[in-house]
Amino acid sequence: AQKVTQAQTEISVVEKEDVTLDCVYETRDTTYYLFWYKQPPSGELVFLIRRNSFDEQNEISGRYSWNFQKSTSSFNFTITASQVVDSAVYFCALSEGDSSGANNLFFGTGTRLTVIP
Amino acid sequence: NAGVTQTPKFQVLKTGQSMTLQCAQDMNHEYMSWYRQDPGMGLRLIHYSVGAGITDQGEVPNGYNVSRSTTEDFPLRLLSAAPSQTSVYFCASSYSVQGGGYTFGSGTRLTVV
């Protein structure tokens, strides 16, 4: 069965520090998709990135970067030079592609990041 | 370009009352789903639909009903609300059956007293 684990429940960093949010996933499918979402205090879910299982290239978008390693089933998210606006709950999620044809997202329990000015 | 619209944004119910949470999308997405978010538990799938007339259960379906009579709408019904259903509910849609990008509604905060 599929599973997403975000072992870090809460993280606090001082502004301008770098921070890495960990995500470990489990799936039996060979085709799957991994996502990161941000949930700011206002409550909406903001899409950050999608990565498919055949693309292990790391990605950088401004201060955000993602490290996808199939060998360790991890999809970690790093924020460089953190800012107060980065304070939010971050969710990692998995969608499986081989079975059933459905498009269900399975979420981790989230990591609450607090950036202290 | 409305995306996914959820109504209401807030609701307080008494135990035993029924209500329908509305979800509508204007992107012609085939896939739609409902999640509930509880503290420390992330988002859990309640029900989903891969097209009009087709629905299926997710991880936590008990106490909820859904139907999908049109591509645009996917309402979630609570037949007899219980305090355990106090949660934030999110509706999502996707442009493809597998691996597609998801669009989430802004959520409905439901309190059952």
Separation of alpha carbons A22 and A75, rounded Å: 7
Distance between CA A75 and CA A67 in Å, rounded?
6
Closest CA–CA distance from residue A81 to any residue of chain B (Å):
26
Handedness of CA B58, B42, A23, A5 (dihedral sign): negative
Q: How far apart are CA A92 and CA A73, in angstroms?
A: 13
Calpha distance B9→B108 (Å, rounded): 4
Please tell me the predicted confidence (pLDDT) of residue A1. 75
pLDDT at A86: 97
Pick among B30, B89, B98 to test the A interface (most A CBs inside 10 A): B98
- Within 8 A of B90 by CB-CB distance, chain A residues are 45
- CA nearest to B6 within chain A: A44
Cβ partners under 8 Å of residue A32, min gap 6? A25, A52, A53, A94, A95, A96, A97, A98, B99
What residue ranges of chain A have pLDDT lower than 50?
A: none
Residue in the structure block whose two tokens are 């998801």:
B102
Q: What is the predicted pLDDT for the residue at B59?
A: 92
Which stretches of A1-117 are assigned E, i.e. beta strand? Answer: 3-5, 10-14, 19-21, 24-26, 32-39, 46-52, 59-61, 64-69, 74-79, 88-96, 105-107, 111-116
In terms of CA atoms, which chain B residue is nearest residue A31?
B99
Cα–Cα separations (whole angstroms), residue B27 to A49, B1, B31: 20, 8, 11
The long-range contacts involving A55-61, CB below 8 angstroms and separated by at least 24 positions, are: none
Tell me what percent of the residues of chain A surpass a pLDDT of 70.
Answer: 95
Q: What pLDDT is recorded for position A55?
A: 86
Q: What is the model's pLDDT at position A84?
A: 97
B48 strand-pairing partners: B33, B56
Distances (CA, A) of B74 to B2, B8, B26, B45, B48: 15, 14, 12, 14, 9
Partners of residue B97 on adjacent β-strands = none
8 Å CB contact of B107 and A52: no
pLDDT in tens, A42-71: 999 999 998 989 888 888 889 999 999 999
As averages over each run of 10 residues, the pLDDT of chain B (113 residues) reads: 90 97 94 93 93 94 97 96 97 76 92 97
Q: How far is B88 from chain A (nearest CA, A)?
A: 9
